[in-house]
Amino acid sequence: MARIDTMTTLRDRQLNALKQMLNLNQTLTKAVANEPSWKVLIYDRVGQDIISPLISIKELRELGVTLHVQLHSDRDSIPEVPAVYFCTPTEENLGRICQDLDNGLYDQYHLNFISPITRQKLEDLAASSIQSNSVMSIHKIFDQYLNFICLEDDLFIMKHQQSDSLSYYAINKGDTKDTEMEAIMDEIVESLFSVFVTLGNVPIIRCSKGNAAEMVAKKLDKKLRENLWDARNNLFHGQTGTFSFTRPMLILLDRNIDMATPLHHTWTYQALAHDVLDLSLNRAVVPESTGPAIPGQKTKTRTCDLDSKDPLWSEHKGSPFPTVAEAIQEDLDKYRSSEAEVKKLKSSMGLDADSDLALSLVSDNTQRLTSAVNSLPQLMEKKRLIDMHTTIATAILNAIKSRRLDSFFELEEKIMSKSSGVESKAVMDLISDTSAGTAEDKMRLFIIYYLCTSQLPDEEYKKFESALVAADCDIKPLVYMKRWKSFTKMSSQGQYEGGGTKTVSMFSKLVSQGSSFVMEGVKNLVVKKHKLPVSRCVEAALSGAEAGGECELAWLDPRAARTDASVRARAPKHPPPSDAVVFLVGGGSYIEYHNLMDFAKQQATSGIARKIIYGATTLPHAGQFLKQLSLLGEEMQ
């Protein structure tokens, strides 16, 4: 039987592994896809976060899952149905599994651990199942190596719920004990190891020096090495990986390489949804009311799931917001004309039966009506997506207008790109303007200005500090950023070359009558393409150029013989791989992700095909990242 297997991306591979797990770890076949066996799915919070962006509830049903429940919830016994467990092998989870075995909740147990279970824990589980006389009920125990969350074909994070343990704050706070730091690094390594097992490739590792990224690189190098030398348990033996003939390069960078981008106001659809609507695990919660909030009354919200099956989202998640608004309007116009055609056909078919006209129309129109009726489900789905995007875009537009986000974005782009000398007056004016932005918006703007200005006289700094206090800002992040800047002895000057914006004539298509988006007062900013520091490091590493400064990267090859130092010294002279997994220790951002995808597209137009995957420990929005800086500043006071 042919295998359902056209896997090209990390997302495809993780999804396929999950589907195979839900098929009781049997290879997927077309027959199984048509008639799946029924089962119960039991997961912990980590398992839930991994499955949620990839498989909808409807798709779970199609895969034969009749019930999906949290491991630590109260559950009734369901005999004669296999139970598929998907969880991390923690003491707490294993205790609950043993309790389930003891209570005889299910007839068959298929235990799938997200990351490998240790020998000791496996023996404890075996002893417990012997005691409860349930050994025969445990059908399979699998290590799945799926300890990461795939949000897009080429985007993954380590953790969503309880992700504070891997945050920028956790890695950089002053009182972190060595044992805590080791545990954080081990967790990141475990996750990255899962990514490469899923991809089926052993990477060449490059990492920034003297920071958490280098610690991760050394530990991962050791773990990959040990696995490659373990003949019995080699996870990379004989697999055809997801990349081309070359091995991918893993580029491990530290968040400290660029602190401005995670705070930057943005202008692209996905990044705006993340910043304004707290998009998480591909789900945005959108306020439905457009009027002002009524005190004491709860705002009605709508949950919107955004995934790659949605054509508008796939095409425009990285597009500037005005382009998205135009695309939604175009889709709406197309939908209206299709709907009008169906209505016209219906009315022509409903003419008086005696009429000669009706008879002639029936023969002409039957075929057209059949095709129109057949296309109704697609039309309804189109309508649902248009409504959803209209709701999201309207909520974003309201935020842009009420907070003047276009002004913040435009000024920050000027500051970061050095396209024109930004005077401190422009920054001061926006901070002092009571009608512009929230206190958080103003603090973000100032930190970016502070980072990108090589020398800010004390007197001027104090003026800004007073203005920020007057604007009701929490100034604790500045305490940390001041020390950060003196330690790194670098300003981000020249790091963001070639950016900026230009304002083009007002939204041509949206000003036309009947548009759902009233764009008056919002600038139609066109972003000039530029490379952020992370993209510049990636470009240097993939082109084989040895960049200095922040982009100076160490080189590790888990496949190279450990003793042969001369091989390692020569290694950078080999032609570099064409594909890369770029990973940020300490948190990533959608702005960086889209910037890297733009770089890959730009390379493709120059005839260089590159597959780039972006990953990060966590994906905080600017408000969450600012809060972490505030906590770090508070520690220092």
27 and 130, same structural domain?
A: yes
- Given a cut of 60, is residue 571 above it in pLDDT? no
pLDDT tens per residue across span 211-270: 999 999 999 999 999 999 887 888 886 555 555 456 899 999 999 999 999 999 999 999
Residue percentage of the chain with pLDDT more than 70: 81
CA distance 453 to 430: 17
CB atoms within 10 A of CB 38: 12
Residues 127, 178 share a domain: no
Range of the domain at 603: 150-258+532-636
Is residue 60 located within the same domain as residue 186? no
Measured CA to CA, the distance from residue 130 to residue 134 in angstroms comes to 6
CA dihedral 15, 18, 24, 26 (to 10 degrees): 40
> What is the pLDDT averaged over residues 137-148?
97
Q: Which residue has the tokens 């309007």?
A: 329
Task: Write down the pLDDT at residue 504.
Answer: 46
- On whether both 72 and 26 belong to a single domain, the answer is yes
Separation CA 308–CA 151 (nearest Å): 10
Q: Is 8 exposed, middle or buried (0-12, 13-18, 19+ CB in 10 A)?
A: exposed
- DSSP states of 185-233: HHHHHHHHHHHHHHHT-PPEEEEESSSHHHHHHHHHHHHHHHHHH-TTT
Domain final residue pick, 87, 113, 146: 146
230 inside domain? yes
How many H helices and E strands in the chain?
23, 16
Q: What is the pLDDT of residue 357?
A: 52
In a domain, 464, yes or no: no
Residue type, 427: V
What is the average pLDDT score of the chain? 86
Query: Residue 511 — very low, low, confident or very high, per pLDDT cuts 50/70/90?
Result: very low
Which pLDDT score, from 0 to 100, does residue 234 have?
85
Question: Do residues 58 and 174 both lie within one domain?
Answer: no
Residue type, 335: Y
* Res. 4 pLDDT band, cuts 50 70 90: very low
**615: nearest Cα among 528, 558, 538:** 538
Local confidence band at 1 (pLDDT 50, 70, 90 cut-offs): very low
Q: Looking at residue 513, what is its pLDDT? A: 41
Each residue's pLDDT tens digit, 181-217: 999 999 999 999 999 999 999 999 999 998 999 999 9
197 and 231 assigned to the same domain: yes
Q: 11-25, 141-155, 450-464, 488-502: which range is least confident on average?
A: 488-502
- C-alpha radius of gyration, the chain, whole number: 28
Tell me how far apart the alpha carbons of residues 210 and 254 are, in angstroms, rounded to a whole number.
10
Round to whole Å and give the CA distance between 552 and 545.
Answer: 10
Residue 462 lies in a domain: no
**8 A C-beta contact, residue 553 and residue 208:** yes
| Residue 353: per-residue pLDDT | 46
Q: What is the pLDDT of residues 512-526, one digit of tens each?
A: 444 556 666 666 766
Say yes or no to pLDDT of 292 above 90. Answer: no
> For 154, how many CA atoms within 13 A lie in the half-sphere containing its CB?
21
CATH number of domain containing 31: 3.40.50.2060
Q: How confident is the model at residue 23 (pLDDT cuts 50, 70, 90)?
A: very high
Say which residue the tokens 């130092």 belong to.
565
Q: Is the domain of 124 the same as that of 225? A: no
- Say if residue 191 is in the same domain as residue 96: no
Confidence of residue 2 (pLDDT cuts 50, 70, 90): very low
Give the pLDDT score at 508: 40
**Are residues 94 and 135 both part of a single domain?**
yes
Residue 379: helix, strand or coil by DSSP? Answer: helix
- Using CA atoms, how far apart are residues 47 and 17, in angstroms rounded to an integer? 13
Regarding whether 81 and 64 lie in a shared domain, the answer is: yes
Residue 492: predicted pLDDT: 44
pLDDT of residue 231: 76
Q: For residues 285-292, give the mean pLDDT.
A: 74
125 lies in the same domain as 215: no
Q: How far apart are CA 446 and CA 435, in angstroms?
A: 17
- Ranked by mean pLDDT, the top range of 120-129, 543-552, 566-575 is 120-129
- Show Cβ contacts of residue 479 under 8 Å, excluding neighbours closer than 6 positions: 633, 634, 636, 637
Distances (CA, A) of 591 to 152, 275, 465: 14, 10, 27
Q: What is the pLDDT of residue 3?
A: 32
Structural domains counted in the chain: 2
pLDDT of res. 509: 41
User: Taken in order 482, 486, 488, 490, is the CA torsion positive or negative?
Assistant: positive
pLDDT of 499 reads 54
- Using the 3D structure, point to which of 115, 146, 177 is the last residue of a domain: 146
DSSP single-letter state for residue 157: E
For helices 212-229 and 178-199, give the axis angle rounded to 10 degrees: 50
Under the banding of pLDDT at 50, 70 and 90, the label for residue 420 is: low
Find the CATH number of the domain harbouring 229.
Answer: 3.40.50.1910
Last residue of a domain, one of 146, 162, 194: 146
Mean pLDDT of all residues in 281-293: 80
Say which amino acid occupies 212. Answer: A
| pLDDT (tens digit per residue) in 362-384 | 556 666 666 666 777 888 899 99
Q: Are residues 112 and 95 in the same domain?
A: yes
Tell me the whole-structure pTM to 2 decimals: 0.90
Q: What confidence tier does 346 reach under pLDDT thresholds 50, 70, 90?
A: low
pLDDT tens-digit map of 67-81: 999 999 999 999 889
Mean pLDDT of 313-337: 92
Residue 575 inside a domain? The answer is yes
The answer, yes or no, to whether residue 341 has pLDDT greater than 80, is no
Does any domain span residue 369?
no
